[in-house]
Amino acid sequence: MKISKAVLSESTKLSQFIKMVFDSSVANFYSDQGNEEFYKYITPKAIEEQLQKDHWILKAEIDKKLVGIIEIRSNNHLSMLFVDPQHQKRGIGRQLLVQAIKLIKQNNSSVKMITVHSSPNSVTAYEALGFKSVSDEKEVNGIKFTTMEMKIPE
C-alpha cells in the first residue's frame, strides 16, 4: 500500500471516492438535509478550495486504486476518514491516521490533541483508534456527530 499527499488535480477522483464510501456507509444515518450538506462539502470544487486553504488529504492506494483517504483541517482536526468498504478492517484507516499524525507533528510539534466529529456509525471505530468522546451526539444542518479527541503520542 502506498500513502501519499493528494494534489489539486485529484479532486474529482477524491470526490467520487468519498461519495461512494459515504453513500454505502454513512448516508442512511443522516436526513436528506444532512446528506445534501455533506455532498456540498465534497464536490471537486469544494475539495480544491479546501486544499488551497488549511486542509490536506492523504490517500492510500493499492495497485494504484484509491482505497482510503484522511483529511486534516487546521493541522489538528480530522475532518474525513474514509476507507473503501471492501478494504475495511485491514488497518488502512489506522495507517492513514499514523501518517497524518506524523505530518501534523512535522508541521507543528506543539500540537498535542486532534479532534474529530464522528458520524454515529464510526464512534466505535474512532475509539479503537484511540479517540475518546467529549460530547453527546449533536445534529447541525442534518449532520449527526459526536465530538471526539485524541492525545497525540509523544
Q: What is the CATH number of the domain that holds 118?
A: 3.40.630.30
Q: What is the residue-level pLDDT of the chain in tens, covering all 154 positions?
A: 999 999 999 999 999 999 999 999 999 889 999 999 999 999 999 999 999 999 999 999 999 999 999 999 999 999 999 999 999 889 999 999 999 999 999 999 899 999 999 999 899 999 999 999 999 999 999 999 999 999 997 7
- Radius of gyration from C-alpha coordinates of the chain: 15
E strand or H helix at 57 = strand 55-62
pLDDT for 106 equals 94
pLDDT for 29 equals 86
Among residues 81, 82, 150, 139, which one has the least CA distance to residue 115?
150
pLDDT for 153 equals 76
DSSP, collapsed to helix, strand or coil, labels residue 12 as helix
Residue written as cell 464510501? 21
DSSP, collapsed to helix, strand or coil, labels residue 75 as coil
pLDDT for 89 equals 87
What's the structural domain count of the chain? 1
Polymer length of the chain: 154
CA atoms within 13 A on the CB side of 67: 20
| Global pTM value | 0.94
| Per-position DSSP letters for 105-136, written without gaps between them | HHH-TT--EEEEEE-GGGHHHHHHHT-EE-S-
DSSP, collapsed to helix, strand or coil, labels residue 154 as coil
Q: Which structural domain range is residue 25 located in? A: 2-151
Question: What is the C-alpha separation between 146 and 4, in angstroms, rounded?
Answer: 28
Q: What are the C-alpha distances in Å from 28 to residues 17, 88, 89?
A: 17, 18, 21
Beta bridge partners of 29: none
The DSSP secondary-structure symbol of 25 reads: H
